[in-house]
Structure 1
Amino acid sequence: MKSILFRIFTIVLFLSPSLLASLNINAQTFEKRVDSLLQNKFQPDEPGAVFIVAKDGKSVYRKAFGKANIELNVDMNTEAVFQIGSMTKQFTAVAIMMLVEEGKLNVSEKITKYLPDYPTNGEKITIHHLLTHTSGIKDFTSMKSIMSIAKKDLSPKELVDFFKDEPMDFTPGEKFQYNNSGYVLLGYIIEQISGMTYEDFIEKNIFQKIGMSDSRYASDREVIKNRAYGHQQSGEKIVNKRNISFNVIYSSGALMSTADDLLEWQNALDKNLLVSEKTKKEMFTNYTLNDGEKINYGYGWHMKEINGYSSREHGGSIFGFKSMGVYIPEKDIYVVGLTNCDCNSPTQVTRDIAVLATNYILK
């Protein structure tokens, strides 16, 4: 027995250096491949980006590219704070499910239970429909009159009043149609149930709880350390982003964060620090329409596939910024990319990096 154990120990002892060398080569090759992808996409003197790749909850790649501010010639840094646009919807969905776990609402209930004055035109619109973009409610961002309110600091009620009387686009559950109005209503429902503003609810129950210290409800007026300034393309020129009121995008897209904080967010979800495993299964389900067709969307996440693995994904786009996050549960790989020009989307390159990550041994 001792002889067998000694031989096994000897084999492991001699294999370990080569195994470690192999892991190191893989990590170096992965880094070079990712560098190549991102250096080609984000030039040193143009608006930039921050990317993080994490394996088993820990960062294995974390770099910044380009400029955080073109006017002031400020380089991007990995602590930069970005507007994340529709990645906000993940936080809104989790906030709703936190209230579900507290017994304060049920996703199968009609929205009129919480918003009694909302006109549903005789249709049964549920919380589930709002979460899955299947409500049929008119998306207010597609309305021609949207620019009339773009710079107004509306209350949540005033924002809901802006679109609530619009005709339905389809019967609830009939089709999937990405819908910012639904997530505005979810934010408003959070306020009605909790007695807190959406901003305060997210800050207290999510950001503070899990240590997302550099995340917040967006503001153009407050001084925000390490802010990445937004840019847009105008013809051949790069210009500063157009200003809008964050009250108008509200719970559908008004949060700011960093790549590091978004990794904290993903890790908190993995560890069930915000919602239970049972609730996560409910959130990360490929839901179906009334006719049984799958929509590949859960609650706040697209449910897709990357390189043969199931993935949870969501991007965001708002004047001056684009964002993208991809998580592959089977490999415990998380990739997030944040950019400060809406002219240079991180969506495809984030997915490309996720493919690379599944092909390398990352430790």
Structure 2
Amino acid sequence: MIIKKLITAFVLLPFLIQTMEAQTKGYEKKIDSIIQTEFGNKEEPGGVFLISQNGKSLYRKAFGKANLELNVNMTPDHVFQIGSMTKQFTAVAILMLEQQGKLNVNDPISKYIKDYPNGDKITIHHLLTHTSGIKDFTKIKSLPSIAQKEMKPEEMVNFFKNEPVDFAPGEKFDYNNSGYVVLGYIIELVSGTSYEDFIKKNIFDKAGMTHSYYASDRKVIPQRAYGYHKKEHGFVNKTVISFSVPFSSGSLMSTTDDMLKWQQALNQNLLLDLNETQKAFQKYKLNNGEEFTYGYGWHLKDINGIPDREHGGSVFGFKSMGIYIPGEDLYVIGLSNCDCHSPTEITQNIAKAALQAIKTSAKKP
């Protein structure tokens, strides 16, 4: 009987392997087709996409060119500017300092920046949740006058702090880069070190993110993907800005593999205890009691009714989008090296396809 079962198993094994390989290829083909709607031209700037579940990579592929001048093909190892996905790191850095007892998210910002207008009514929580009412510096007309200057964090805060506020703190949610610049300045004041060094030592190094950086156009960064704009006559190199301007609201660089390590570090409470971590991923309310869909550094939305945590980024020459679905431990991220190719909708569609594949697989006996 045992021998008969073994023979049956050996006969079925090649069939089962072929079936699994066919399913994997079919899944991969579907994901390829979703991405190629936006990233199908091999001669243009491209992107990298990664899907993982339970920390394991299910799909990891590069499209297009990392450098047009040198005709370098994109690889999954290329480094991109991630724009506003930087806000996740800034928010977690603030929570790390709270965990160390060095600040409280309910502190007024006047505790740290004495002369900040209305600073006794604006809290760190307001900055984290985009409910401060501070004027977003990206909407200030004189921004081009400083865009290429090397700005100290204090100078950057001074650039917008005396602008009229848009609303009273806590009255509404309005996505705001200035608030996250103030947070970066507070991180420096409280920690006694630069934002760049704090993030590297306390997050990148702890999470094993060896290919993540505070952005620079002067440092030699191995495997850097170059950024592009698309004009009527073709592609041009990205507009040069000083990274001290977006600072802690949008100046980090990373890879899809490192961003997966970041997600894993959060899941495993490697950086924060469970209580502090949960603060980042809960919805908060405005003064009138209305709930809004942003935690600390993440949008809290859903895909087909399934809760997710997501954030995108856009900075000259680059776009990014990351989606995490806690219920399935599913992480999907897309990074692009042309602001003409947005990975946002593509990443959302990939997440939907992955969820459907998980659902279909669960139904099978």
TM-score normalised over the length of structure 2: 0.93
- 1:69 is matched with which residue? 67
Counterpart-to-counterpart distance in 2, 1:156 and 1:12 = 66
Q: Deviations over 1:118-144 (max 9, x none)?
A: 1117x6100000000000000011100
> 1:278–1:21: structure 2 CA closer, same or farther, 3 Å change rule?
farther
TM-superposition CA deviations, 1:110-164 (whole Å, max 9, x none): 011111121117x610000000000000001110011010000010011011001
Residue 258 of structure 1 corresponds to 255
Separation in structure 2 between the aligned mates of residue 292 and residue 18 of structure 1, nearest angstrom: 58
Residue number among 74, 77, 80 corresponding to 1:79 in the alignment: 77
Once superposed, what is the RMSD of the aligned Cα atoms?
Answer: 2.4
Aligned to 2:149: 152
1:133 pairs with 2:130: yes
Which residues in structure 2 correspond to 1:188-267 (within 5 Å)? 188-267=185-264
- Report the residue type matching 2:160 in the other structure: F
In the TM superposition, what whole-angstrom CA distance separates every residue of 1:280-307 from its partner, at most 9, and x where no partner exists? Answer: 2111011111112121000000000012
Moved more, 317-326 or 26-35: 26-35
Out of 332, 343, 347, the residue aligned to residue 346 of structure 1 is: 343
The answer to whether the 8 Å contact 1:307/1:358 transfers is: no
Q: Does 1:297 align with 2:286?
A: no
Give the match for residue 111 of structure 1: 109
> Match of 2:189, as an amino acid?
Q
Q: Secondary structure at the match of 2:310?
A: strand
Q: Is residue 2:34 matched to residue 1:37?
A: yes
Look up the match of 2:311: 314
Q: Secondary structure at the match of 1:360?
A: helix
Cα shift at 1:235? 2.2
Q: Can you list the C-alpha shifts for 1:176-219, whole angstroms capped at 9, x where unaligned? A: 10100000000000000000000000010011111100000000
In structure 2, what is the equivalent of residue 6 of structure 1? none
Moved more, 276-285 or 60-69: 276-285
Counterpart CA distance in 2 for 1:274 and 1:15 is: 46
**Contact 1:217–1:256 (8 Å) recurs in 2:** yes
Partner residue in 2 for 1:166: 163
Structure-2 residue corresponding to 1:96: 94
Deviation at 1:26, TM superposition (A): 3.4
Distance 1:207 1:26 in 2: 36
Identity fraction in percent: 60
Q: Distance in 2 between matches of 1:194 and 1:273?
A: 19
- In structure 2, do the counterparts of structure 1 residues 12 and 198 end up closer, same or farther at CA, with 3 Å as the change threshold? farther
Distance (whole Å) between structure 2 residues aligned to residue 173 and residue 287 of structure 1 = 10
Please name the residue that 2:46 is paired with: 48
Q: Counterparts of 2:65 and 2:209 in 1: how far apart (Å)?
A: 24
**TM-score (normalised: structure 1):** 0.93
Secondary structure in structure 2 of the residue aligned to 1:224: coil
Judged with a 3 Å threshold, the aligned counterparts in structure 2 of structure 1 residues 110 and 13 are, in CA distance, closer, same or farther, namely farther
1:31 touches 1:61 (CA, 8 Å); kept in 2?
yes
Once residues 111 and 22 of structure 1 are traced to their aligned partners in structure 2, the CA distance between those partners, rounded to angstroms, is 59
Question: Per the alignment, do residues 13 and 133 of structure 1 end up closer, same or farther by CA in structure 2, a change over 3 Å counting?
Answer: farther
Q: Distance in 1 between matches of 2:9 and 2:117?
A: 69
Is there any run of 5+ residues in structure 1 with no aligned partner, and where? 1-8
Deviation (angstroms), 1:24: 4.2
Cα pair 1:48 1:339 within 8 Å, conserved: yes
* Letter matched to residue 82 of structure 1: F
CA–CA distance in structure 1, aligned partners of residues 36 and 343 of structure 2? 13
Counterpart amino acid of 1:88? T
The alpha-carbon deviation at position 39 of structure 1 amounts to: 2.3
Match of 1:57 in 2: 55
Residue 247 of structure 1: SS of its match in structure 2? coil
Change (3 A) 1:290 1:25: farther
8 Å contact from structure 1 (residues 27, 360) kept in 2: no
Displacement of 1:96 in angstroms is 0.3
Give the superposition deviation at 1:40. 2.8
**Alpha-carbon distance between aligned partners in 1 of 2:326 and 2:14, rounded to the nearest angstrom:** 29
Per-residue CA deviation, residues 55-89 of structure 1 (Å, 9 max, x unaligned), is 11111100000000112111111110000000000
CA deviation string 1:314-339 (max 9, x = no partner): 00000000000000000111000000
Please say if residues 107 and 127 of structure 1, whose CA atoms lie closer than 8 Å, have aligned partners that are also in contact.
Answer: yes
State the AA in 1 paired with 2:204: F
**Is 1:323 the counterpart of 2:331 in the alignment?**
no
* AA of the residue aligned to 1:185: V
Instruction: Give the corresponding residue for 1:3.
Output: none
Q: For residue 85 of structure 2, give the secondary structure of its aligned residue in structure 1.
A: helix
Question: How far off is 1:109 after superposition?
Answer: 1.1
Q: Evaluate the alpha carbon distance shift between residue 34 and residue 119 of structure 1 in structure 2; reply closer, same or farther with a 3 A threshold.
A: same
